[in-house]
Amino acid sequence: MRVSSKLPIGLVATILAISPVLGTTLEQLTLADMARQSTSIVRARVTGSRSASQGSAIYTYFQLQVLETWKASPQNATEVAVPGGAVDGIRQSVNGAPELKTGQEYVLFLWTSRSGLTQVIGLSQGRFSVLGDMVQRPPASELMLDRSGRPVADQAMRLSIQDLRTQVLQSLHQTAGGVK
């Protein structure tokens, strides 16, 4: 399945969660893409989780303690839904879904749908683990495509949290100034 840049990433994640998927294909997003398309960007610690069914899809809902907000929608998310999980002995998994662990700190690029469901943008692309003053994201395990539809190799990212914050804020400033 190819993710079109015309579809909101949250909708694509929902579609992937509902349909049986052997592999996931995503459009590779830059930091600037994620910053612009996110409804909020937070540095947060996961404080707990629960799984629930939503139609035929199962989501794991992670509760967040927001430590810092870099971009916010009118409703600052304190819970994020990740496709996959286990409910009543039924397990569903989605390739590329971000892994979150209770007690761990992350920088999360979030997207909230019109229905109010908040998810990590670009599946695992929008999740950075915080390790001291550094953040890192492993290369995506799913197939990535560039804007023209050609396969590309995703790269691991490791940078200081200050550098990530600066790049995100510069992207948001350029967008606000009309530069894209």
Both tokens of residue 58? 């199962």
How long a stretch of residues is the chain?
A: 180
CATH code where residue 122 lies:
2.40.50.120
Strand, helix or coil for residue 15: helix
Give domain status of residue 52, yes or no.
Answer: yes
Q: 142 pLDDT exceeds 70? A: no
Give domain status of residue 82, yes or no.
Answer: yes
The pLDDT value recorded for residue 19 is 42
Give domain status of residue 83, yes or no.
Answer: yes
b/e sequence 151-165, b meaning 16+ C-beta within 10 Å: eeebeeeebebeebb
Give domain status of residue 101, yes or no.
Answer: yes
With cut-offs at 50, 70 and 90, classify the pLDDT of residue 139.
confident
Give domain status of residue 1, yes or no.
Answer: no
The pLDDT value recorded for residue 66 is 93
Range of the domain at 76: 9-176
The pLDDT value recorded for residue 11 is 45
Strand, helix or coil for residue 32: helix
Give domain status of residue 64, yes or no.
Answer: yes
The number of distinct structural domains making up the chain is 1
Q: How many CB atoms lie within 10 A of CB 88?
A: 7
Give domain status of residue 3, yes or no.
Answer: no
Give domain status of residue 156, yes or no.
Answer: yes
